Structure 1
Amino acid sequence: MDRFALTNARCALPGGMQENLAIVVAGDRIETICPMADFSSGTSFESVPSIDVDGRLTTAGLIDIHVHGADALSFDTVDPTEPARIADFYAARGVTAIAASLVSAAIPELSGRIENLRAAVEHPQPGHARVLGAHLEGPFLAASQAGAHDPKALVSPDSVDWRPLVDAGDLLSMVTLAPELTGAVELTRALAGAGVVVAAGHSEARGRELRACVEAGLSHITHLWSGQSTLIRNGPWRLPGLLEESLASIGLTAEVIADGKHLPFPLLEIARRCLGGRLAIVSDATAGAGLPRGAEYDLGGIRCVVDDGVAVVKDAASGAFGGSVTPLPAMLDILVHQAGWDEHEAIMAGTAVPAGIMNAGNRQGRLAPGYAADIAIFDHGFRAVGTVVRGVVRGCDGLHSDGSIPRMRDRG
């Protein structure tokens, strides 16, 4: 359909929640959003077919800027079909854009994995989530903060030729690095100059090292409390770590894994109060997302197992999580119905904020005229029942699970 409307929607708009609205889509953009009374009486809408969402919560499609895979599939693969299959998995859950996160590996391997994303990025299949390019979570990380990354894969920027990564062009969207490593400032400057978002993470950095990279173009902080240095004492002097510097920052954005497992609710609340509208939620979901408890999978050569709502590294001595197994919609349910977050604020942390972090805030992440027709329709508990991606309507578990569009009517 070139033009259609979602009607009787309860919408998360940039300014707040509003009910009884119609969202008119034309092509791959939102044409207008108006009260149902205006849609029903407007002569310009007489021939527009509509889908009655029956008062369901309707948001901009969720944007996950840190996701490694799902359903036994991983972006760390040489299988050219897996990125599209992962994009399909998330679109079916109301996530309409994802950054393909890659774990630490040698530069030639990472270059090949980035190239493997080309088809999904440049020629997406209809109804699949947008793939926003690669997010390299490594290999420029601190060994002491490796987490689920293979320590043998970690390197300092001054020890390798990282130029092939900078030359990856539009296929590279974000790089997480440790600011204290030798050569990190030079790498940050080169990446930021190429339009890549640079983030600090898996790091032992102190304030001076973080500020040096911020001056070179670093703008984001990867998963607060996970893989971050914290406060230490040097005699009587207290020295803030990356965590405290991040929470006290003025212009930096940051992300949290809001699965209720990585971080207890008081820590999520601290991040919310400190960063406000600069805080995004991310899944950090791995191949374990969608798999049953006890299922095992590889994360960059590290064996992980799905436990009680989270993944852990199988080697018990490591004491590390192996990423998350919870997609963003379930995290919204946790934040709103368990952690007590305001519904609108939580939704913005999964839509407008991550869009802004990825420098796409002027075209994605909001229900507003002129923005991308990436839309999610949720039932109770943030269960997706319908998704629109680039103007293509697809069903999710109920609204039109057979591929048709029930409740659609021609008003002409």
Structure 2
Amino acid sequence: MSSSSFLLKNCTLFIDDKITYNANLLIVHGKIHSIHEDDELDIDVETWDMQGKYVFPGFVDIHVHGAHGQTFNSSSVEIWEDIMLAHALAGSTTLLPTVMTDTKPNMLQALAVGTDLNRQGRVAGIHLEGPYLNFEQRGAHDAKDLLLPQDDFIESLRDYFHAIKLVTLAPELEGMSSLIQTLHAHQIIVSAGHSVANAQVIERSKQIGLSHFTHLWSGQTLLTKHGPWRNLGLIDIALSSENMTAEMIADGFHLPEELVKIAYRCLGKDRLCLISDASAGTGLPQESHFVMGSSEGIVKEGVALSVCGNSFCGSTSFLTDIFRFCVHKAGIPIAEAVQMATSTPAKIIGIDHIVGRIEPGRNADLLIMNEDLTVYSVLQQGVKVKEKIRSYDST
């Protein structure tokens, strides 16, 4: 599918919560030109018969660390490109590469790569997860690299504010209010994560720019009791919130199907998005070791674990794997699960006018799936995503 104009015929097309059967999608110069429900189209272009296959917008992953042993904490453009390709082949045509807590030089070098790729229009922006996280809820983030907002690292970050689209932080840390206000002023989405913030802190932070919650139930406190009194955990605050958005790693490990159902019922398809949180272990065999920031992980029992075994270290899933779990295991209607992987995350980071929907004038970023929700083909700007074949000089 590389012609300047072609027709995808006999598609099962998903546009928001509407499903159109036997639809025909005309692609011209890498963009969606028009949608037709008439089988008798008098258009002289190359035609591809989809035979009823599902055609979705390309998935949008706003929390993704890596794949195949590599992460976006790297300073290598080639490594970033390899990770992007791996996720594109799996159906995620738009990424918010996530740089996690690491040494200051490593984070800044990774941010520089992401900023250049963002300037070229190759990534939607950058998600910075850390280093301003709570020690108690740090998960796989290395404690020695955690910082407080008073640190001069913030000044170094300013050079990358135009590319950073999302920052995960613990709003209860001393001096955090000023940082939240600064990020919000630069139109950066501020998310509470790896945090022990109580309801009062979240409400105050919401008033100055906090709008999102990072990976529900992961790095979040739970309900506790002191005598007869119940103190809300961060997860309770997130699920009962109004107008705020959230993300979940619905891989069957971070969240079993019961918790996925609870999050979906509380927040719905318009405020809850699916993320992969894919680690460097994604795509690696069992017992493989890998590095995430300044932390080490291992692929074990179907998921990524820190080597000490005390926490998850990201997932080993692509976003299409998460999507399948939501539909097949958690029973979320397929059209709504599609929105949670496309238009909802796109809206959260402010790019829903560009990606996340099948609509004339938008880029032809499309995910074509079989009835069992396995990937059949992926298009980026109307071109089929293919494996990159490298040639190595053997001399």
TM bucket (normalised to shorter chain) is over 0.9
Of residues 236, 258, 262, the one that matches 1:266 is 258
Q: What CA distance in whole angstroms lies between the structure 1 residues aligned with 2:5 and 2:176?
A: 48
Which 10-residue stretch deviates more, 377-386 or 218-227?
377-386
TM-score, normalised by the number of residues in structure 2? 0.93
The equivalent of 2:343 in structure 1 is 352
CA offsets 1:305-339 (integer angstroms, 9 cap, x no match) = 101221111113xx101110010111111111122
Residues 230, 244 of structure 1: 8 Å contact kept: yes
1:292 matched residue in structure 2: 285
| Aligned equivalent of 1:113 | 110
Residue 52 (1) aligns with residue 52 (2)? no
* Match among 337, 342, 356 for residue 333 of structure 2: 342
Matches within 5 A, 1:235-274: 235-274=227-266
CA distance in 1 between partners of 2:196 and 2:292 (Å): 23
Measured after TM superposition, the shift of residue 370 of structure 1 is 2.5
CA distance in 1 between counterparts of 2:154 and 2:343 reads 31
Within 1, Cα distance between the matches of 2:94 and 2:156? 25
Indicate which of 60, 63, 78 corresponds to 1:63. 60
Question: Partner amino acid for 1:96?
Answer: T
Alpha-carbon distance, 1:233 to partner: 2.9
Residue matched to 1:406: none
TM-score (norm 1): 0.89
Mark the CA change 1:71 to 1:380 in structure 2 (over 3 Å): closer, same or farther: farther
State the alpha-carbon separation in 1 of the partners of residues 52 and 386 from structure 2: 17
| Residue matched to 1:102 | 99
User: Is residue 302 of structure 2 the alignment partner of residue 309 of structure 1?
Assistant: yes
What's the offset of the Cα at 1:303? 1.5
Q: Deviations over 1:255-297 (max 9, x none)?
A: 0001111111111111000000211010100111110111110
Among 208, 213, 217, the residue aligned to 2:205: 213
| Distance across 2 between alignment mates of 1:159 and 1:122 | 27
Match of 1:190 in 2: 182
Unaligned runs of 5+ in 2: 390-395
Deviation (angstroms), 1:382: 2.4
| 2:92 counterpart of 1:92 | no
CA–CA distance in structure 2, aligned partners of residues 391 and 192 of structure 1: 35
> CA offset at residue 166 of structure 1?
3.2
Identity of aligned residues (%): 35
Moved more, 158-167 or 325-334: 158-167
Match of 1:32 in 2: 34
Aligned-residue offset at 1:235: 4.3
Counterparts of 1:172-183 in structure 2, within 5 Å, are 172-183=164-175
Instruction: Give the gaps of 5 or more residues in structure 1.
Output: 125-129, 402-412
Q: Give the aligned CA root-mean-square deviation in angstroms.
A: 1.8
Q: Which amino acid aligns with 2:64?
A: V
Separation of aligned partners in 2, 1:119 and 1:391: 24
- CA deviations 1:57-92 (Å, max 9, x no partner) are 110000110000001111111222111111111111
User: How many angstroms does 1:119 deviate by?
Assistant: 4.2
Query: 8 Å contact 1:221–1:246 — kept in the other structure?
Result: yes
- Deviation readout 1:127-183 (Å, 9 max, x if unpaired): xxx422221110000000010000111111123340322331432111000010112
> Does 1:225 pair with 2:227?
no
Q: Is the 8 A contact 1:107 1:162 kept in 2?
A: no
The Cα shift of 1:385 comes to: 1.9
Residue matched to 2:160: 168
